[in-house]
Amino acid sequence: MKRRGRRFPIGVVTACCALGLQAGVPRCAGVLARALDADAAWTLERVVPGLESPLVSTGVVSCCAGSGIVWRVDAPFFSEVCMLGDAMVFSDEDGVRRKAAKDLPQYDRIRKQTDAFLAGDAHAFDGAFDLRACDTVDGWTLTLTPTVGAMKRLFTQVELAGDKRLERVTLKTADGGESRICFFEKAQGAHELWKGARP
Amino acid sequence: MTGRGRMWARALAPLALSALVAGLLLSRPVHVQTSLYDLVGDMASTVPASVRNRSNDRASVVVSAKSENAALSAADAFVAALPADLGAAVRHKDDGAAFAEMRTFYASHGSGVVSSADAERLKTPEGRAKIARAAIRRHFSVPVTLFTPVQDPFGLLAGFAASLPTSVMGWSPRKDGVLVAERDGETHVLVSFTLPPSVSGDMDALERFASGLRAARNAAAREGVRFAASGVPLHAAETASRCRREIGWLGVFSMLFIACLGLWAFRTWKVVVWFALSLANAALAGFAALVLFAPSFHLIALVFGTTVLGLVIDYSFHWLLRSEADERATRRNLLVSCATTEVSLVPLACASLPALAQSAVFLGAGLVAALATVLWLYPRAWRGMWCEAGRRGRRPRPTCARGLAWGVFGIVCVALVAGLPHARFETPLAALYRPPAELAAAEAQFARLSGSDAGHGFLVTTCAAGVAETLDDMLAREARALKRRGRRFSGEASQSSQGVASLRRRHQVRQRTDAVASLVTPAERRDPLGDAALVTPAERRDPLGDVACLSRFLPPLAERTANWENVNLLYAEQGEKLRSALKLAALPAPEAPRAWDAKTLPRAIAENFLADGALVASNVPADAGADMDMSDGVVFWRPADLSCVLTAWGRQSVGLFLAAAAAMFALLLVFVRGRAVRVFAPAVVSFLVVVAALTVRGEPVNLFHMLAGFLLLGMGVDYAVFLHESRGRAVKSALCALLTSMVGFGALAFVSFPVVAAFGFALGVGLPVAFLLAWASAPRDADTAPATEHGASPLGLELAWLAYRVFGKRALNALAAAIGLCIWMFSAGARKASRGPGKAMRFARSLADKFVVMCEGPGQPCVETDGSDDAAAFVADVQAKKGVFVLSSHCGTVEVLAALGACDVTFHAWMAFAQTAVFNAFYARHAKRRRVRVHPIETFGMASAFEAGDWLDAGDCAVMAADFESATAADGSPRIAVSEGAVRFARALGHPVYFVACVRTRGSQYRAIVRKLPTETRAGLADAYRAALEAVVREHPEEWFRWMDRG
């Protein structure tokens, strides 16, 4: 479950970015495309029903167009997820584990849909989300509501917001919880976490 | 009313009466059961109806392809191609709510629900630390999770949910209501249908639904895409379609055959009307009795009843083919036959298995009605219509049958010896139903995709209250049951599962069905969610298999309790660390696991496994694990139990069979007295042959074979009664009865429905064996032709001729010599005629030569005369076509005689056909010589005398034997008695008369001894003949065999 729980939001974010890119929203189109080839620091804050304080973790994400995404957690513990074209690699204090894409049907499907969308298929995600975009004083907001049961189990709404950069992604869950990811772009095209050999 | 009008009124009266009775009874609501579980009666009624057929209203179509797009587009095309009026089937759409419900359910039942991997990790401190670290990572790094940190601090529930099979977790619902899963490198799209009761309960609607699916599948077919449709409705539609097609063809074939047989036997089509009348009366009476007996009856009882109504045709044949002299005997035999069949059905009617009892009632009433029709209606209805109907046509020769029967008997003995010790009594599920290969493959694929294998099971869970009282009640009941069986019941009722388990082991209750029945009363079963129905794990008869696998979805309490102990350790060791990481004031304490509450089971489980309080486990692991203690209280019931029940009934039916056999034998002792064993044995032996045949095929004897055994017993006795009591005169009617039964029942062996095929096989094998054995053992009648003639049977002659064709004449001669030796050894008459076996062997060889001569055409045999003047004169007269009359003897052969002339003269010979029927029949089948014409002496009359004159005038020859008796004088010389009639006849024709005796020299060579006889006086002619014959006998005593010796 933990792997499925990880790959879904990462894929959703990617999908949402790609979707927004082609959705005809001029202000966020370039921003989202840029995000898919940038390095950024992130802070994840989870508001969980029943917990008094939110769960906060920090880390770095490094996107490399054509290669994949590396999502590294620095605090409160180390772990890393590398999303490649044909596999997902999980690294933490328990070791390194590789899962082939064919063994991760959801991952493989989302990745293909994303690739198709980025390649110009504007309808690749049709039936997966209801999309609503609007401009705000501070920038733009893109709201996606999942219509598919698998997505709906995990979250009820995803909201992307930013200005010149993708700044926030907010996921709301059915149990009333909320997860906020704040991005701080560090470099464009640096691919910092891609340097060196990747398993 | 005219006589014909009265006739038709009588004919229609019973029919109208039966229809009236049936109509009155039909005014009551009648329910026809179709479920296989209804076959077992009360036992199955304890299983909730909706559980009997898991998802009996659901059908699924899985579309598989290598790529997701291909699968989805094919599925879309399939859905678009579905007929609009698809039986109002409802497409099943998943919105994910069931999964959320499942999540809540697991979280509300305390700790202990863990995956197998986490259960292993929980056992060690290192593993527990690993679990804690993974939980922390998950809570922090995964934005959305299935369970909150409060619900699932260490992620154990999440791990368990991930381990659930595809049926719960793996299908991803789409917007349009199809489910998608990826496995084995393929994408599978699931389109589900739920059928309303109006469709699932209507066979026609099901067939339309199945054909609609097929049409849509064909329309959406494309390369690389596979469609697999499965579900109970499709099985039902396929079975109904096959049954209708096969039984329809069989019914038409049977009716046509019966009509043709009736035409052959009676030379009129009118008999078909009377057959139909008898059948209709029997069917109506049977149905009326069935409705009276049981307001709801099983479809199988109706099917069996209608198929076996072919028995009523037997009664019609027996009555219509009787002779006037046998009317009283036929009436008695019909009554005995019906009585014995009814007696054989009594144990069945009293059986606890409803389908058996219903079949027996239907058949019993039908047979009585048929008998009444035959005995009362037939004689009154067509008195005077025809009287000779049954006498037309030739009577089948019993000689062939006896030879064939003894051959069959030999095969029977071998089969019995070989097969019986290895016979098995078992009724597997395959004996009830075998799905078509395509459907079976689709079911297997669907089960595999859904995370389950073939095999299903049911568990009935209950609440935990009321344990003690129920257990005591059950133990008391068990004690009573054991006491009845004569076993001692020692031990006390214990409320502990260990005590009960100990009791079980000590008393070793083997019969699974009895144990299940005795443990839970029907009342308890009907309220499985109440407090009354409860059985401890020790009561389970098979704690393995499905229970172990159901724990994948509902881990048993004991397992969860064991896990919970390790979870406590996890909390103790890692709880503080987790609490501080999550910044919780306090980490929730692990909650002790609780028993499952069937009322709150989640839909994800319920839709797949639960209905009306029963859980269906859908997997049977290959290696059954340890005994799992489910102290929730479960009773285990699965479709395999149905097989056990039916197997137990099949074995118990052996006792019923023996009881029926004993009752029939007792009845036969009353009616046929000393012949009871002889009459009864063929039926019993035929059943044993059926058992042996099944064993040779590697099949067990199942319940339906036993059911056929009851009928085989009754019908076998019928054949024996008619054949024995009529001393073979009723062979034609019995043969007609056999043929109709073979066509009606034997053809059922080729039906694809296993129940019906088993029935047909048993009767198809057993009936001819019973008939032949009855025929072979029936006493001979003086008027019937002997089965053999001087030891030679038609079959024996044909076999000998075949040996000659294959191995040549030397082999034939050797075989003939051997036969002659056997004749001399076992025949007192032969030993009286000859001290040594030489003469008999020589005679047999000459007989073989005779047949060769008769059947091989010109060129045989090699004949030379004795060189006398008379011989030369004979040859000259024959060649000159003067018309020679030959007074011959019973030694020699007319074919040899005919070879003397070596011309185209025809030899006309008179022979006694009635006394040489076997040989004459052989001759008629094979003879090729056209120069020899054989005429029966029995038809000799004035016309024969005129014809003989014409033959002789035309230059042909006539041959007649003039000796009819023989005796031996005190000095050992033969004394021949000459037929005065033959002498007068020969003299009266006015042509040359010769005596010719052909003696066999060696091989196929003969020497003709010829004497010209004086014709001046009759006495002189007779004396000369006598002297010539006596001289030949003295000279060649080995050629003289006094077959006509009346002494």
Q: Assign a CATH topology to domain A2-187.
A: outer membrane lipoprotein receptor (LolB), chain A (2.50.20)
Question: pLDDT grade, residue A4 (50/70/90)?
Answer: very low
Among B137, B138, B164, B182, the residue to mutate for chain A (most A Cβ within 10 A): B137
Predicted local confidence at residue B50, as pLDDT: 40
Predicted local confidence at residue B1013, as pLDDT: 93
B516 torsion bin: left (phi>0), alpha (psi -120 to 50), beta (else): alpha
Are B168 and B296 within one domain? no
CA B262 vs CA B309, B477, B738, B748: distances in Å: 17, 59, 13, 21
Predicted local confidence at residue B673, as pLDDT: 75
Show which of B777, B811, B839 is a domain's final residue: B777
Count up the domains in chain B and report the number. 4
> How is chain A split into domains, by residue range?
2-187
Which residue of B lies nearest to A74 if distances are taken between CA atoms? B141
pTM over 0.90: no
Q: Which residues of B touch A (CB under 8 A)?
A: 68, 94-96, 99-100, 130, 133-134, 136-146, 148-151, 155, 158-159, 161-162, 172-176, 181-183, 185, 581-585
Are B673 and B703 within one domain? yes
Find the CB nearest B144 among A49, A56, A179: A179
The position carrying tokens 């939110």 is A54
C-alpha to C-alpha distance for B891 and B909, rounded to whole angstroms: 14
Predicted local confidence at residue B573, as pLDDT: 93
Q: Taking CB atoms and an 8 Å limit, are A49 and B148 in contact across chains?
A: yes
Among B69, B93, B95, B141, the residue to mutate for chain A (most A Cβ within 10 A): B141
In chain B, residues with a C-beta closer than 8 Å to the C-beta of A6 are: 141-142
| Within a domain: B584 | no
Predicted local confidence at residue B961, as pLDDT: 83
Predicted local confidence at residue A29, as pLDDT: 64
Are B304 and B231 within one domain? no
Are B104 and B148 within one domain? yes
- Per the structure, the complete domain to which residue B677 belongs is given by 267-423+644-777
Q: Taking CB atoms and an 8 Å limit, are A2 and B158 in contact across chains?
A: yes
Low-confidence ranges of chain B (pLDDT < 50): 43, 45-54, 87-88, 166-177, 384-398, 451-475, 478, 482, 485-551, 607-639, 782-786, 1043-1047
In chain A, residues with a C-beta closer than 8 Å to the C-beta of B149 are: 48, 50-51, 55
Query: CA torsion sign, B431 to B433 to B437 to B441?
Result: negative
Are B633 and B648 within one domain? no
Are B550 and B677 within one domain? no
In chain B, residues with a C-beta closer than 8 Å to the C-beta of A171 are: 143-144
Q: Taking CB atoms and an 8 Å limit, are B139 and A55 in contact across chains?
A: yes
Are B198 and B152 within one domain? yes
Does the interface predicted TM-score (ipTM) exceed 0.85? no
Question: Which residues, at least 6 apart from B562, have a Cβ–Cβ distance to it below 8 Å?
Answer: B112
Are B607 and B652 within one domain? no
Q: Taking CB atoms and an 8 Å limit, are B158 and A92 in contact across chains?
A: no
Encode pLDDT of B823-868 as tens digits.
777 777 777 767 788 877 877 777 777 677 666 655 555 778 888 8
Show which of B736, B753, B777 is a domain's final residue: B777
Q: Taking CB atoms and an 8 Å limit, are B143 and A46 in contact across chains?
A: yes
- Decide: B377 and B768 in contact? Cβ < 8 Å: no
In chain B, residues with a C-beta closer than 8 Å to the C-beta of A44 are: 140-141, 143
Which residue of B lies nearest to A171 if distances are taken between CA atoms? B143
Are B227 and B80 within one domain? yes
Choice between A9 and B245, residue whose per-residue pLDDT is larger: B245
Burial of B399 (0-12, 13-18, 19+ CB in 10 A): buried
Show which of B711, B745, B777 is a domain's final residue: B777
Which residue of B lies nearest to A51 if distances are taken between CA atoms? B584
Per DSSP bridges, beta strands B957-961 and B885-888 are parallel
| Within a domain: B865 | yes
- Decide: B796 and B1004 in contact? Cβ < 8 Å: no
Distance between A121 CA and the closest CA of chain B, angstroms:
14
CB atoms within 10 A of CB A49: 13
In chain A, residues with a C-beta closer than 8 Å to the C-beta of B183 are: 105
Predicted local confidence at residue B108, as pLDDT: 76
* Nearest 10 degrees: Cα torsion A31, A36, A40, A45: 90
Find the CB nearest A153 among B99, B137, B150: B99
- Decide: B366 and B766 in contact? Cβ < 8 Å: no
Distance between B144 CA and the closest CA of chain A, angstroms:
6
Predicted local confidence at residue B46, as pLDDT: 45
Which residue of A lies nearest to B143 if distances are taken between CA atoms? A179
Are B666 and B633 within one domain? no
Predicted local confidence at residue B381, as pLDDT: 59
CA B984 vs CA B978, B987, B1009, B1022: distances in Å: 11, 5, 22, 9
Predicted local confidence at residue B779, as pLDDT: 73
CA B528 vs CA A151, B41, B533, B974: distances in Å: 38, 18, 6, 99
C-alpha to C-alpha distance for A38 and B193, rounded to whole angstroms: 48
Predicted local confidence at residue B128, as pLDDT: 94
Predicted local confidence at residue B4, as pLDDT: 65
| Within a domain: B179 | yes
Encode pLDDT of B704-748 as tens digits.
888 888 888 888 888 888 888 766 666 777 888 888 888 777 777
| Within a domain: B446 | no
Find the CB nearest A51 among B130, B136, B582: B582
Are B702 and B668 within one domain? yes
C-alpha to C-alpha distance for B851 and B841, rounded to whole angstroms: 15
Predicted local confidence at residue B1020, as pLDDT: 92
Are B234 and B278 within one domain? no
Among B101, B106, B144, B172, the residue to mutate for chain A (most A Cβ within 10 A): B144
Encode pLDDT of B480-525 as tens digits.
554 554 443 333 333 344 444 444 433 333 333 333 334 344 443 3
| Within a domain: B768 | yes
Triad B443, B449, B450: Cα angle to 5°: 85
Under 8 Å CB pairs connecting chains A and B tally to 125
End-to-end CA distance of chain A: 22
